[in-house]
């Protein structure tokens, strides 16, 4: 009986504390990020939104990321500055179009004829040292580089039929800064306008087309509706783009949320790989909007030779640039000796 009274008395004393517990264990306020992608709303559904959706679902309310598409918060060319000062917390873009103030700028996006397939990009980053270089260079300027991946090649979709290099003369094309610099030697006039304005610019005659993507993007974003031809020759086999986060925001993120963010981004690379790879083949073979055209390989060799000279010029810009160009040379030497499917010959 004495033991029973002691037990009941202890339970009675514990009851108020137990009832009070929920008021002490309040839910932690969610960490909120604003994230902008280089892609417009149609393309962004495929290239960026899957990663953001996966992060938000796995974080279970601890981290909430709001996704914005091309130019919605700041123009794409100001993405880096906005990320650096914390106006936005995360970015999916290439170094070139977001005007990265690092020696890496020209090597993001479409570095002329540096790659042939999307899988070249993760190999270059994970096996040839680009990941370490990207991480180090962005740490110097207050930005955390997270991951890079390849996407589609850089072909031409135009109103004018192109069957020779001479047909490039005078073409006003929406393209990337470094790609435009390279193409200008063949008479191309690079045009810099907001991403979402490109389609209308073709309709109004301001543009003759785009040298910005592969055929999957042309159909997805509506460019195939306003242009007539697709040139199968490309100036680069894969877009090099990355995910970035403001350095302080990343440092403040708990480790388990860092793991969620990184894992979701890596998984999204796999989705983009199949979406683009399958789309490029299917739309070339079955698409009914763009007529395929090609410049003969013997003539296209002039472009390939010009790229070698362009690489030499880039290598002269500094130690990091020279190191990157050498990595591209080393990798292309390996793939050229390996033969198909690493090369097209």
* pLDDT per residue as tens, the chain (345 positions): 445 445 444 544 444 444 444 433 334 799 999 999 999 999 999 999 999 999 999 999 999 999 999 999 999 999 999 999 999 999 999 999 999 999 999 999 999 999 999 999 999 999 999 999 999 999 999 999 999 999 999 999 999 999 999 999 999 999 999 999 999 999 999 999 999 999 999 999 999 999 999 999 999 999 999 999 999 999 999 999 999 999 999 999 999 999 999 999 999 999 999 999 999 999 999 999 999 999 999 999 999 999 999 999 999 999 999 999 999 999 999 999 999 999 875
The Cα 342–Cα 326 span in angstroms is 19
Containing H/E element for 150? Answer: strand 143-150
Of 151, 173, 153, 152, the C-alpha closest to 162 is: 173
Catalogue the E-assigned strands of 21-118: 31-37, 63-68, 90-93
Q: Does domain 155-237+288-315 sit in CATH 3.40.190.10? A: yes
CB–CB of 242/145 below 8 Å?
Answer: yes
- The C-alpha R_g of the chain, in whole angstroms, comes to 25
Q: Which CATH superfamily is domain 31-149+239-284 in?
A: Bacterial extracellular solute-binding protein, family 7 (3.40.190.170)
Count the alpha carbons within 13 Å of 161 in the hemisphere toward its beta carbon.
4
Pairing verdict, β 155-158 and 209-213: antiparallel
The residue extents of the domains of the chain are 31-149+239-284, 155-237+288-315
Query: CA dist 103 to 19, 37, 142, 155, Å?
Result: 60, 22, 15, 25
CB neighbour burial string for 237-262, b if at least 16 within 10 angstroms, e if fewer: bbbbbbbbbbbebbeebeeebbebbe
| 16 CB-contact burial (10 Å; exposed 0-12 / middle 13-18 / buried 19+) | exposed
The Cα 304–Cα 235 span in angstroms is 8
């Amino acid at each position: 009986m004495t033991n029973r009274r002691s037990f009941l008395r202890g339970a009675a004393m514990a009851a108020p504390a137990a009832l009070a517990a929920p008021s002490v264990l309040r839910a932690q306020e969610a960490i909120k990020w604003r994230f902008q992608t280089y892609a417009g709303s149609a393309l962004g559904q495929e290239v960026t939104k899957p990663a953001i959706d996966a992060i938000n679902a796995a974080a279970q309310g601890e981290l909430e990321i709001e996704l914005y598409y091309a130019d919605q918060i700041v123009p794409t060319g100001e993405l880096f500055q906005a990320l650096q000062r914390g106006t936005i917390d995360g970015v999916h873009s290439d170094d070139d179009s977001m005007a990265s103030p690092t020696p890496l700028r020209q090597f993001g996006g479409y570095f002329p004829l540096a790659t042939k397939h999307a899988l070249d990009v993760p190999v270059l980053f994970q096996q040839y040292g680009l990941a370490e270089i990207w991480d180090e260079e962005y740490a110097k300027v207050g930005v955390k580089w997270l991951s890079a991946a390849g996407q589609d090649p850089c072909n031409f979709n135009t109103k004018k039929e192109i069957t020779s290099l001479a047909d490039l003369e005078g073409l006003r094309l929406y393209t990337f800064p470094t790609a435009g610099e390279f193409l200008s030697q063949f008479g191309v006039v690079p045009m810099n306008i907001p991403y979402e304005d490109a389609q209308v610019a073709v309709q109004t005659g301001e543009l003759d087309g785009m040298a910005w993507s592969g055929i999957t993007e042309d159909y997805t974003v509506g460019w195939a509706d306003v242009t007539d031809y697709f040139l199968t020759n490309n100036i680069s086999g894969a877009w090099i783009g990355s995910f970035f986060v403001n350095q302080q925001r990343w440092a403040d993120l708990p480790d388990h949320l860092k793991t969620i963010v990184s894992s979701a981004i890596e998984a999204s690379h796999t989705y983009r790989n199949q979406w683009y790879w399958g789309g490029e083949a299917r739309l070339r073979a079955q698409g009914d909007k763009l007529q395929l055209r090609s410049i003969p390989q013997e003539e296209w060799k002039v472009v390939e030779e010009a790229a070698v000279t362009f690489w030499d010029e880039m290598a002269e810009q500094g130690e990091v640039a020279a190191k990157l160009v050498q990595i591209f040379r080393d990798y292309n030497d390996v793939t050229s000796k390996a033969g198909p499917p690493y090369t097209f010959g």
